[in-house]
């Protein structure tokens, strides 16, 4: 099916929006009137630009407050409409969107609305234009799609049809099954938008909080199935009003939009990109650094040993149990200090995982490698994190580990850490929803509910994505802090069977644990009961505690090096969370530690 996006969904000038839509692979666009009015290009030039970019102009919108109004008001509206029809002919658009009236002059008279819309369609047909009538969720008298369809049906005009908008339908809780009663040829246009489930004024909800399919709580797949059963063969078009998207760069937003539409089509069987290949574990986390000493000292105190060196690159492998950290001191590490820049994901089919990622518009990363280096498929996540797909269980094929020559001899100390429990990736403010969709759709991970966490200087949002057995857990966060704030640095959580022993060993090796305020432990004593001496141990070591319906969670944090810190975690009894109730205390403690260091 053809795909389209409304220019109102993207930031920038009309030219920038059209370019972004084309590069993302859209077939067409809806031209929002304000974008055209603000453009220095004549309608003919916009038409030519779209043709050069391979874009059709699917819709011109919106036309407002034209039906069920007094005759003199309708005459003024019809005069205005004729001007717009002439402009649309110059533009090369053949369908106009007419929203149900919100005018205080509108009357509750379906017969009058049908009669005036038929006259409007008569005028439109003279210019070769169709009229798509849409029910606004906040329309004065017409606010549901079935009501709008009854008026269109009563008008009985071949140039008049209806426009279905998923937000207006689903935000009101309307049952979309009735869409199947509308003949497909009378559905002139379909607009799609998702949204988080909020309890607020529907107009404000619509104007500020729409998002792309798969980023909210609406059942867009169910609605689309009903539409397709009518025989509708027009474009699937995204119309998304969102404050973040209007400020973010148009190119990445358009790619995010196109990806969301591909996944929606896949869900209803209208597209068949390569199937997702779910990762089965974390092979490694890679740190880029200009100064290896602080981070290697931290790794050493945590019980890691330098076990191997890359054969052709300045990259060391530090390992403890199944937890592997790469420390890269190459030129790229000299820009931003120490940062978590790449993740290796164990994959049963790396090539298949890469094909899936490429089909969903993830940039495939070229890899500079020596002739003897193992081939590794890699793509970039929206935040720039490099994701490597590392082969598992493939005899006869060199894996990533073959690129490293062992440097440690003799038996390795098992230590306290067993593996990487999870990774926390701080996102740029405008990539949070995109990141969640990317990790779900490209990697096949399951997204958990978004969590809001109080930070001393704002509000932090977090959403975890995971595979079924929890061997891959990634917490995506976005907070109020500016770029470069070490409090909202990325971190690597290390699993241990005994967090107390791990914390004591770390401290004995010279490591510094994040101090936690005494008030936290006073409150914890009031909320939970512990065996004698246990709470005092937690207080001494800065260990935090949480429990859910499945088990218990104990965790503590190291100091921050550059843009990275580590967490030691102990999960007991199937605990599924990440210690979110403790996050405000941890964030405040990190702010305090940073202020003390700066002072």
Same domain, 89 and 172: yes
415's CB contacts (< 8 A; 6+ apart) are 303, 304, 320, 321, 505
Please tell me which residue, 268 or 372, carries the higher pLDDT value: 268
What DSSP string describes 223-285?
HHHHHHHTT--S-EEE---BHHHHHS-HHHHHHHHHHHHHHHHHHTTS--PPPP----EEEEE
User: What pairs with residue 557 in β-bridges?
Assistant: 567
C-alpha dist (Å) from residue 48 to 28, 365, 376, 490: 13, 34, 43, 46
Name the average pLDDT for the chain.
92
- Residue 547, domain member (yes or no): yes
The tens digit of pLDDT for each residue in 28-83 reads 999 999 999 999 999 999 999 999 999 999 999 999 999 999 999 999 999 999 99
CA–chain centroid gap for 250, Å, is 15
Q: How confident is the model at residue 369 (pLDDT cuts 50, 70, 90)?
A: low
| 3-state SS, residue 122 | helix
Read off the tokens for 559: 């100091």
H/E run at residue 52: helix 43-52
- Residue 412, domain member (yes or no): no
Q: Tell me the backbone φ, ψ of residue 375, rounded to 5 degrees.
A: -70, 135
448's CB contacts (< 8 A; 6+ apart) are 463, 464, 465, 466
Res. 384: pLDDT tops 70: yes
Span 553-558, mean pLDDT?
98
The tens digit of pLDDT for each residue in 90-128 reads 999 999 999 999 999 999 999 999 999 999 999 999 999
Span 259-266, mean pLDDT?
96
Q: What pLDDT score does 395 carry? A: 56
Q: How confident is the model at residue 149 (pLDDT cuts 50, 70, 90)?
A: very high
Same domain, 177 and 299: no
Same domain, 244 and 355: no
Q: What pLDDT score does 394 carry? A: 61
- Residue 45, domain member (yes or no): yes
Domain with residue 428: its CATH number is 3.10.180.10
Same domain, 198 and 243: yes
State the DSSP code for 211: B
Read off the tokens for 540: 């001494």
Res. 245: pLDDT tops 90: no
Quote the CA–CA distance of 568 and 582 in Å, as a whole number: 14
User: What pairs with residue 29 in β-bridges?
Assistant: 5, 57
Please tell me which residue, 414 or 269, carries the higher pLDDT value: 269
Full domain range(s) for residue 368: 281-406
Q: What pLDDT score does 584 carry? A: 94
Q: What pLDDT score does 482 carry? A: 47
The tens digit of pLDDT for each residue in 202-217 reads 888 877 778 999 998 8
pTM score: 0.89
The tens digit of pLDDT for each residue in 436-464 reads 999 999 999 999 988 888 888 778 889 99
Into how many domains does the chain fold? Answer: 3
286's CB contacts (< 8 A; 6+ apart) are 315, 325, 326, 327, 328, 340, 341, 342, 343, 344, 386
Res. 411: pLDDT tops 50: no
Q: Of 344, 372, 406, at which residue does a domain stop? A: 406
- Residue 15, domain member (yes or no): yes
- Residue 275, domain member (yes or no): no
- Residue 43, domain member (yes or no): yes
CA–chain centroid gap for 535, Å, is 39
Same domain, 116 and 162: yes
Q: Tell me the backbone φ, ψ of residue 300, rounded to 5 degrees.
A: -60, -40
Helix axes 14-23, 250-267, angle to 10 degrees: 40
**20, 43 contact by CB (below 8 A):** no
| 3-state SS, residue 144 | coil
Q: How confident is the model at residue 484 (pLDDT cuts 50, 70, 90)?
A: very low
322's CB contacts (< 8 A; 6+ apart) are 418, 419, 420
Res. 24: pLDDT tops 80: yes
- Residue 272, domain member (yes or no): no
Among 71, 60, 185, 81, CA closest to 123: 81
Q: What pLDDT score does 599 carry? A: 56
Quote the CA–CA distance of 171 and 219 in Å, as a whole number: 11
Same domain, 445 and 560: yes
Span 231-245, mean pLDDT?
90
H/E run at residue 60: strand 56-63
Angle at 553 between CA 549 and CA 555, to 5 degrees: 160
Q: In which residue are the tokens 């019980």 written?
A: 303
Same domain, 145 and 59: yes
The tens digit of pLDDT for each residue in 502-532 reads 999 999 999 999 999 999 999 999 999 999 9
Among 266, 278, 456, 447, CA closest to 350: 278
Q: Of 211, 236, 267, at which residue does a domain stop? A: 267
Lowest mean pLDDT among 75-84, 141-150, 225-234, 446-455: 446-455
Q: Of 267, 293, 325, at which residue does a domain stop? A: 267
Same domain, 382 and 436: no
| 3-state SS, residue 8 | helix
The tens digit of pLDDT for each residue in 315-349 reads 999 999 999 999 999 876 556 679 999 999 999 99
Q: First-to-last CA distance in the chain? A: 60
Q: What pLDDT score does 246 carry? A: 75
Q: What pLDDT score does 218 carry? A: 92
Same domain, 263 and 320: no
- Residue 411, domain member (yes or no): no
Quote the CA–CA distance of 396 and 221 in Å, as a whole number: 43
Quote the CA–CA distance of 127 and 94 in Å, as a whole number: 8
Same domain, 98 and 203: yes
Domain with residue 52: its CATH number is 3.20.20.150
Same domain, 371 and 394: yes
Q: CB 79: neighbour CB atoms within 10 A?
A: 10
Same domain, 251 and 286: no
């Amino acid at each position: 099916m053809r795909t389209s996006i409304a220019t109102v969904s993207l930031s920038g000038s009309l030219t920038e929006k059209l370019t972004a839509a084309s590069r993302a692979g859209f077939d067409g666009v809806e031209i929002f009137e304000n974008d055209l009015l603000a453009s220095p290009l004549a309608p003919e030039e916009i038409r030519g630009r779209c043709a050069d970019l391979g874009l059709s102009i699917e819709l011109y919108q919106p036309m407002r407050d034209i039906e069920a109004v007094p005759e003199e008001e309708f005459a003024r509206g019809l005069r205005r409409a004729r001007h717009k029809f002439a402009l649309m002919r110059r533009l090369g658009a053949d369908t106009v969107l007419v929203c149900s009236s919100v005018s205080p002059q509108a009357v509750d008279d379906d017969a009058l609305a049908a009669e005036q819309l038929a006259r409007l369609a008569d005028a439109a047909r003279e210019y070769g234009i169709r009229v798509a009538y849409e029910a606004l969720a906040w329309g004065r008298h017409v606010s549901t799609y079935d009501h709008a369809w009854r008026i269109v049906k009563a008008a009985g005009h071949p140039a008049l049809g209806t426009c279905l908008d998923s937000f207006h339908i689903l935000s009101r809780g309307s049952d979309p099954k009735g869409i199947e009663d509308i003949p497909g040829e009378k559905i002139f246009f379909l607009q799609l938008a998702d949204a988080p489930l909020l309890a607020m004024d529907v107009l404000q909800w619509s104007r500020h909080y729409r998002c792309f399919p798969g980023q909210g709580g609406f059942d867009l797949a169910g609605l689309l199935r009903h539409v397709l059963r009518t025989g509708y063969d027009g474009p699937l078009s995204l119309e998304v009003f969102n404050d973040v998207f209007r400020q973010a760069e148009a190119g990445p937003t358009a790619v995010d939009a196109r990806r969301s539409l591909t996944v929606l089509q896949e869900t209803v069987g209208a597209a068949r990109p390569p199937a997702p290949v779910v990762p089965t574990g974390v092979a490694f986390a890679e740190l880029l650094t200009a100064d290896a000493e602080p981070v290697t000292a931290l790794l050493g105190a945590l019980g890691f040993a330098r076990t191997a060196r890359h054969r052709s690159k300045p990259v060391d492998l530090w390992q403890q149990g199944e937890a592997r950290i790469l420390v890269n001191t190459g030129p790229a590490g000299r820009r931003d200090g120490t940062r978590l820049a790449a993740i290796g994901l164990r994959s049963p089919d790396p090539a298949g995982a890469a094909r899936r990622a490429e089909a969903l518009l993830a940039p495939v990363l070229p890899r500079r490698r020596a002739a003897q280096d193992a081939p590794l498929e890699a793509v970039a996540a929206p935040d720039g994190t490099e994701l490597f797909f590392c082969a598992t269980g493939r005899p006869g094929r060199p894996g990533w580990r073959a690129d490293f020559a062992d440097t440690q001899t003799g038996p390795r100390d098992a230590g306290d850490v067993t593996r990487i429990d999870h990774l926390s990736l701080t996102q740029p403010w405008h990539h949070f929803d995109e990141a969640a969709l990317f990790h779900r759709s490209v990697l096949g991970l399951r997204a958990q509910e978004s969590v809001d966490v109080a930070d001393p200087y704002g509000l932090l949002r977090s959403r975890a994505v995971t595979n079924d057995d929890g061997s891959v857990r990634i917490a995506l966060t976005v907070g109020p802090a500016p770029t470069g704030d070490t409090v909202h640095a990325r971190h690597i959580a290390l699993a241990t069977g005994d967090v107390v022993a791990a914390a004591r060993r770390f401290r004995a090796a010279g490591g510094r644990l994040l101090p936690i305020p005494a008030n936290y432990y006073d409150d914890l004593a009031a909320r939970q009961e512990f065996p004698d001496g246990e709470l005092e141990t937690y207080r001494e070591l800065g260990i935090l505690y949480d429990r859910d319906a499945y088990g218990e969670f104990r965790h503590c944090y190291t100091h921050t090096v550059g843009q990275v810190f580590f967490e030691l975690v102990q999960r007991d009894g199937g605990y599924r969370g990440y210690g979110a109730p403790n996050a405000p205390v941890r964030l405040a403690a990190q702010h305090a530690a940073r202020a003390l260091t700066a002072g």
